Chain A
Amino acid sequence: MPSIRNFSIIAHIDHGKSTLADRLIQYAGLVSDRQFRDQMLDTMDIERERGITIKSQSVTLPYRSTAGEDYELNLIDTPGHVDFSYEVSRALASCEGVLLLVDASQGVEAQTVANLYAAMEHDLTIIPVINKIDLPSADIELAKEQIETELGLNSDDALLCSAKEGIGIQELLEAIVERIPPPKGSSDLPLSALIFDAHYDAFRGTIVSCRIFDGTLRPGDVIRLMYNDATYKVEEIGLFRIVREPRKELVAGSVGYLIAGIKTIGDVRVGDTVTLDEHPAPSPLPGFKEVKPVVFSSIYPISSDEYQSLSDALEKYKLNDASLVYQKDSSAALGQGFRCGFLGLLHLEIVQERLEREFDQAIIMTVPSVLYDFTLKDGTTLMVDNPTYYPDVLEIERCFEPFIKASILIPERYMGAVMKLCMERRGAESKFHYPTPGRIEMTLEMPLAEVVFDFYDRLKTVTQGYGSFDYELSGYRESDLVKLDILVNGEKVDALSLIVHRLRAREWGVQVCDRLKEEIPRHQFKIAIQGAIGGKIISRSTISPFRKDVTAKCYGGDITRKRKLLEKQKKGKARMKVVGMVTIPQTAFVAVLKTKNE
Chain B
Amino acid sequence: MSDSRQLPGLYVHVPFCLSKCPYCDFTSITAPELIPAWLGALEKECRLRSGTFGLFDSLYVGGGTPSILQDRHLDRLVTALHRYFQFEDRSEVTIEVNPDDVCENRLELLLKLGFNRISLGVQSMQESELHFLGRRHTAEQTLRLLDTVRSAGFDRMSLDLIYGFSADPAVPHRILWEKTLERVLRFEPDHLSCYMMTFEGDTPFKRLFSEGKLAPPPEEEGEGLFLFTSELLEEHGFLHYEISNFACSPDAVCRHNQKYWDHTPYLGLGPSAHSFRDGARWWNTRSVPHYCETLERGSLPVEGFENLTEEQLQLERLFLGLRTRRGVDESLLVQRPGASPVLLKLLASGIVERRGSRIAPTRKGFLLADGLPLLF
Listed in ascending order, the chain A residues whose CB lies under 8 Å from chain B are 523-526, 545-560, 562-563, 566-567, 569-570, 573, 580-581
Contacts and interface: CB of A to CB of B under 8 A. Distances in A.
Contacts of A555: 25-26
Given A524-B368, A552-B195, A581-B341, A559 B374 contact: no
Contact of A549 (B164, B281, B306, B370): B370
A559 B273 CA distance: 11
B198 A551 contact: yes
A580 B345 CA distance: 10
A548 B349 contact: no
B7 to A, nearest CB: 16
Contacts of A570: 315, 374
A554 B274 CA distance: 13
A549 B323 CA distance: 12
A545 B345 CA distance: 13
A552 B366 CA distance: 9
Nearest to A525: B349
B351 to A, nearest CB: 6
Interface string B212-224: 0000000110110
A556 B315 contact: no
Interface residues of B, number: 52
7 nearest interchain CB pairs?
A: A557-B274, A547-B223, A552-B196, A548-B223, A548-B222, A552-B195, A550-B369
A560 B226 CA distance: 26
A558 B274 contact: yes
Given A549-B367, A549-B370, A556 B11 contact: yes
B181 to A, nearest CB: 16
B317 to A, nearest CB: 10
Nearest to A567: B315
Interface in B306-353: 306, 312, 315-316, 319-320, 323, 341-342, 345-346, 349, 351
Interface stretch (B47-55, B142-150, B260-268): B260-268
Given A550-B370, A552-B195, A524 B349 contact: yes
Nearest to B216: A548
Contacts of B281: 557, 559-560
A526 B200 CA distance: 29
Contacts of A549: 367-371
B157 to A, nearest CB: 20
A570 B318 CA distance: 13
B273 A557 contact: yes
Contacts of B243: 550, 552
Of B198, B366, B375, chain A has the most CB atoms within 10 Å of the CB of B375
B372 interface: yes
A135 B375 CA distance: 61
Interface string B51-74: 000000000001000000000000
Given A549-B367, A554-B261, A581-B342, A563 B312 contact: yes
A551 B322 CA distance: 13
Interface of B: 11, 25-26, 62, 164, 195-198, 200, 219-220, 222-223, 226, 243-244, 260-261, 266, 268, 272-276, 281, 283, 304, 306, 312, 315-316, 319-320, 323, 341-342, 345-346, 349, 351, 366-375
B316 A559 contact: yes
A527 to B, nearest CB: 11
A580 B226 contact: no
Contact of B274 (A551, A552, A560, A567): A560
B366 A566 contact: no
A451 B349 CA distance: 43
A557 B266 contact: yes
A555 B226 CA distance: 19
A550 B274 contact: no
Nearest to B11: A557
A557 B370 contact: no
Contacts of B260: 554, 556-557, 559
Which residue, of A523, A552, A557, A569, has the highest number of chain B Cβ atoms within 10 A? A557
Nearest to A565: B370
A302 to B, nearest CB: 16
Contacts of B244: 552-553
Contacts of A566: 315, 319, 373-374
Nearest to A553: B195
A545 B371 CA distance: 12
Contacts of B316: 559, 563
B232 to A, nearest CB: 17
A566 B243 CA distance: 17
A177 B11 CA distance: 89
A545 B375 CA distance: 14
Contacts of B223: 547-548
Give the interface centre of A523, A524, A555, A567 by most chain B CB atoms within 10 Å. A524
Nearest to A570: B374
29 contacts: A523-B371, A524-B349, A524-B371, A526-B349, A546-B368, A547-B223, A548-B223, A548-B226, A549-B369, A549-B370, A550-B243, A550-B369, A551-B369, A552-B195, A553-B244, A554-B320, A556-B26, A557-B266, A557-B268, A557-B273, A557-B283, A559-B274, A559-B281, A560-B274, A562-B319, A563-B312, A563-B315, A570-B315, A570-B374
Nearest to A580: B341
A567 B223 CA distance: 26
Contacts of B351: 524-525
Contacts of B195: 552-553
Contacts of A548: 219, 222-223, 226, 367-368
A569 B374 contact: yes
A547 to B, nearest CB: 4
Nearest to B194: A552
Contacts of A554: 260-261, 320, 323
A567 B308 CA distance: 13
Contact of A559 (B198, B320, B375): B320
Contact of B276 (A547, A551, A557, A569): A557
Contacts of B372: 524
Contact of A560 (B200, B266, B283): B283
Contacts of B276: 557, 559
A442 B374 CA distance: 54
